[in-house]
Structure 1
Amino acid sequence: MRRILTYAQIENRFESFIYGQNDEPNRPPPVRQKHLVNNLISGSAAQKLLLFQVLPLIFYDVIDRLNDLMWIYKCLREIVSIVFSTKIRKSWLPYLSSLTNSFHSLMLDKLPDQITAKVHFITHYPELIRRNGPPRNYWCQRFEGKHLYFKKLALRSSNFKNISFTLAKRHQLRLSWLLSHDCFYNLNDKSISTKFIKALELPIDTKRLLVRHKFDYPVYEECQTLIHNHVKFMRNSVFITKLLYQEEIPEFVLLRHILKVEKSWILIVQHLQTVSFDETLWSYEISYLEQLSVMNLDECINILPHGLDIYSLNDAYFVNVLTRLTV
């Protein structure tokens, strides 16, 4: 027993951690002492995945004291980064095979009592990917999401005489309503928290940028959140615009404003500099630049089709990316 933190301190770490606006919808439930004692963390698959992702950020000041156990996390984190990628190169598969074998060996050596069948199944992932492509295209998460709807519906309806008929009827009614909606087939941009803002109310650097791009208007329509092609753009979110050099270092931008100009939405972004990749936190350390740019919606989702959050630790800023990136 290392006795690094007490159960009360661990519970407090989980409860006091502030999740970013993009991660908040999948915020995991509180982790109690009974969960740690019984080795059973509650929550959905998405919540557990987020907890696994931000674990080094929650325990950033004691993570280096875990020593050999930290190697297990790093090995599994790198496996997850490849397996969950939207694009996987064939050249990654031999390396993935060595990672899965290393993880299997580490679990047998360090945590033999925690071995499950999944620890062995993970060694078959490289061959599975070679035959069928990225697992994201055929994973069971969508089935679990659909199943969750039926489970909630069964509890809320409180009708168990003919549960199959109840679920089928409610699902058909819901599907009919969705199909009759105007935007079901036509993907229209959906803005949330929209308001009109005068040009004088914008920051001076933003106003100069708009004038330089010939978007000089007295009043603009601005929104806090915009849904475009099923991607949610929220102010103060981070997006990846491109990958630099042979190492494919991500170039990050921070979304400052979402403005409507000439019946189309544009993004005012602030560029971020990628300082380094912190292997302990498994996050990119970034710094703010004074450079602003105007981008369209599709420029920000070519690499990763969702927003990211910035976490501050010890006067430094980090962006946690789950998947390995490539083009």
Structure 2
Amino acid sequence: MNHFRNHHLGCSSQEMPPLPLLLDCNDFNLNNYGEIEIEQHEQKEQGEQQEQRILSWQYENHDSLDDIKKFYLKMLLKVREGHVLPGNVMKTMALSITCLLEIFSYHLLSKLHMNIDNAISNNFNNDVEKTLFEISKSEDSFISSCQIYFTFVKPKEIILPTGNKAYYIPLCDLLMNLFEKKDFYDSIKQEKELISQFHEQDIIYHYRNAEIGRQHHILNNKKNSLLLQLYSDDLGVVNPLMGKNAVHKLTTFYFSLDDLPSRHSSSLRVVYLLLLYYKKDFEDQNNRRILFEQLGQDLRTHELGGFTRTFTTGYFCRYCFTHHHDMKHIYKESQTLIRTAESHDIQLKHVENVPSDKSMYGINEASALSFISSFHPITSLPPDLMHDAMEGKTMEKYCLFLNLPFMLFNIVDKIPYWFLYELLREIWDMLYCDFPRKSWLSTLQELIEEFIQLFQTIFPDQFTPKFHYLLHAARNTAKYGPLKRQMNLRYEAKHHLLKQIANRCNNFINLPYTISKRIQLRQCYELIDENVFKLNNVSGKIHTRRKITVNQLIQKALLDDNQFIYGDIVEFVKWVLIDNVKYKVGDFFVAYLLGGEEIPLFVKIKFIIHIVKQWRFIVQCYDTITFRQNLWCYEINPSNNNCILSKNEFLTHKAEDCYHINNSYFIRAPYRLTVIE
């Protein structure tokens, strides 16, 4: 108060009226706030002016060609890598685009009645042409641009002692790019939360819920750990110009994340290349040491586990101590001596001291991966269900196995020993199940032992080691979880892409580099968009239809849908892709499981409706009449009941095959279904 008074005593009465000696607090506060508001307003104006100056500076200094560069790179990736075209297509595209731009500019200026020789237009066209050819002039310039604008992970070159080169994809860089995508992170987070709900439950939902997963110290102690599944295999690429040396044998290493939901497991997008080199380089011990030090992960089973690599003599099984001569006389797993980590370590030590005793145990050497603390060849090499059950072209044999009853429909009851097929189908349905139950395993083991004994008795000359591996399938399910998730079909499907790249590029000088580079460019193309699983909510053409034009049963189903109120106009599509599952009009899915026997009820998609950015499915319900054991399928009949379902109400994520034979409908479920509580 003294300050105010002294201040105003020095002012003339004309300049400002004298303030009262005792100021009213309310007046003071109001005036004070007013000053603050004025200051804030002035600061806001200054901030807006500064922001405008920054935007103006950015606009003036913005490279107008930057967006064109990025768009052109994206287009090159989509065309070149999406369709696996040779690299020289880039120059053709650059030339075609510049010609198109010149023609477009010419006609645009003509329409605007402007000078065709406009200097600004000519200079801009020249800059665009220079930019496009700068990107397309060489593979190195294209890759450099991809590194600047997109998430390209360059393969790392490994120079081997023999002089050849291997190429390794940096795992951490690759995972970082994946986890930057929100949908990828969310999918893994949700799946791990779901997995945790099945601990100590009857359903073996995942490897983490199985015996080895529950005992693994890293998985138990580090909740944020990721479970990687690695796969190694050889593939041959043919050079048609090399005569006898036409086949290039390569060894590939892939990995996938086992913590992703199973609905994504069929997509090649979630199979990633990790290492690639010539197969002959693996034969050198120094090369192997360098490769494993770089990789530091799990590779092939018998070879990298240190077990014997022959299946026709000696102790061929990596699950038990069974000699090839005794294989045909063993019908029960209880007749075998199961390998354990402790027994393996003792026998390995003996083999290292006395190398001539290798054949006694079926162990050749220590695993090349033994330096990894969490790796052991007895527990870290899960079985491959397809290779353990089938030989040769597994996918073709699998399709034949499932469809054989319909191919022999008219004579199936006359085939002797058909009961063996029925028994094997019952075994397969449990082994191939998405979510097996612990309570099934004792029954599964009994069925397997019965089948092996019958097959050996009826077809003794056809009994191979693969039948013996089947003897351990129930135990392996308990140890590793659903064996379906351990299969190699998706990895082998990735081979086709690698072969396609090699043949299209027609460059066999350094084939591992050519293939690994193009695979990474393709992955760069797949990660362009905001989401990894970008093929989501993609549908066919949307058609509109008046609700009154559909039949009364469909109208009633729309009326009974409690989720939405449908207007007079309804949007329909013929197909839609949601969460990597394709739904088409006419497809059959399992919608319900009835009773303790879990009898499936099937539905047929009649209409796919798009409403409020969501998808609804009008389905026709089918009655399950009976299970035809000789055909190993269900006989069903259409009903007059229609209902509306969401995608989450389907129990399977793949359409089932339905056959219309002799005025009857038959549908097979490729594996045993169970309700997930």
Range class of TM-score, shorter chain:
0.7 to 0.9
Partner of 1:58: 407
Structure 1 pair 106–193 and aligned structure 2 pair: CA distance change class (3 A):
farther
Counting only pairs closer than 5 Å after superposition, residues 53-132 of structure 1 correspond to structure 2 as 53-68=402-417, 70-132=418-480
Q: Is the 8 A contact 2:659 2:666 kept in 1?
A: yes
TM-score (ref. length: structure 1): 0.81
Q: Read off the aligned partner of 1:112 and give its amino acid letter.
A: P
Q: Read off the aligned partner of 2:409 and give its amino acid letter.
A: Y
Q: Does residue 315 of the first structure (1) align with residue 663 of the second (2)?
A: yes
Structure 1 pair 208–123 and aligned structure 2 pair: CA distance change class (3 A):
same
How far apart are the structure 2 equivalents of 1:191 and 1:280? 39
Kindly state the Cα deviation for residue 283 of structure 1 after the two structures are TM-superposed.
0.4
Kindly state the Cα deviation for residue 42 of structure 1 after the two structures are TM-superposed.
11
Kindly state the Cα deviation for residue 185 of structure 1 after the two structures are TM-superposed.
5.1
How far apart are the structure 2 equivalents of 1:185 and 1:54? 32
Structure 1 pair 119–59 and aligned structure 2 pair: CA distance change class (3 A):
same
How far apart are the structure 1 equivalents of 2:520 and 2:549? 48
Q: Is the 8 A contact 1:215 1:261 kept in 2?
A: no
**Runs of at least 4 residues of structure 1 off by over 6 A?**
none
Larger Rg: 2
Q: Read off the aligned partner of 1:275 and give its amino acid letter.
A: I
**Residues matched between the structures, number:** 284
Partner of 2:521: 173
Q: Secondary structure of the residue that 1:242 maps to in structure 2?
A: strand
Partner of 1:20: none
Offset from partner CA, 1:79-121 (integer Å, 9 cap, x none): 1111110011111111111222222222222222322211111
Counting only pairs closer than 5 Å after superposition, residues 207-222 of structure 1 correspond to structure 2 as 207-213=555-561, 215-222=565-572
Kindly state the Cα deviation for residue 187 of structure 1 after the two structures are TM-superposed.
6.8
Partner of 2:60: none
Q: Which has the higher helix share?
A: 2
Q: Secondary structure of the residue that 2:574 maps to in structure 1?
A: strand
1:233 is aligned, of 583, 590, 596, to 583
Offset from partner CA, 1:213-259 (integer Å, 9 cap, x none): 36332322211111111111111111111211111111111111001
Kindly state the Cα deviation for residue 44 of structure 1 after the two structures are TM-superposed.
4.9
Q: Read off the aligned partner of 1:58 and give its amino acid letter.
A: M
Partner of 1:285: 635
Partner of 1:156: 504
Partner of 2:554: 206
TM-score (ref. length: structure 2): 0.40
Unpaired segments of 5 or more residues in structure 1? 1-40
Structure 1 pair 171–224 and aligned structure 2 pair: CA distance change class (3 A):
same
Q: Percent identity?
A: 30
Structure 1 pair 114–192 and aligned structure 2 pair: CA distance change class (3 A):
farther
1:247 is aligned, of 597, 605, 612, to 597
How far apart are the structure 2 equivalents of 1:267 and 1:188? 16
Which shows bigger deviation, 252-261 or 98-107? 98-107
2:652 is aligned, of 304, 314, 325, to 304
How far apart are the structure 2 equivalents of 1:308 and 1:151? 31
How far apart are the structure 2 equivalents of 1:278 and 1:75? 14
Structure 1 pair 47–196 and aligned structure 2 pair: CA distance change class (3 A):
farther
Q: Which has the higher strand share?
A: 1
Q: Does residue 223 of the first structure (1) align with residue 573 of the second (2)?
A: yes
Q: Is the 8 A contact 1:198 1:219 kept in 2?
A: yes
Structure 1 pair 67–298 and aligned structure 2 pair: CA distance change class (3 A):
same
Unpaired segments of 5 or more residues in structure 2? 1-389
Q: Does residue 136 of the first structure (1) align with residue 484 of the second (2)?
A: yes
How far apart are the structure 1 equivalents of 2:586 and 2:549? 18
How far apart are the structure 1 equivalents of 2:528 and 2:477? 38
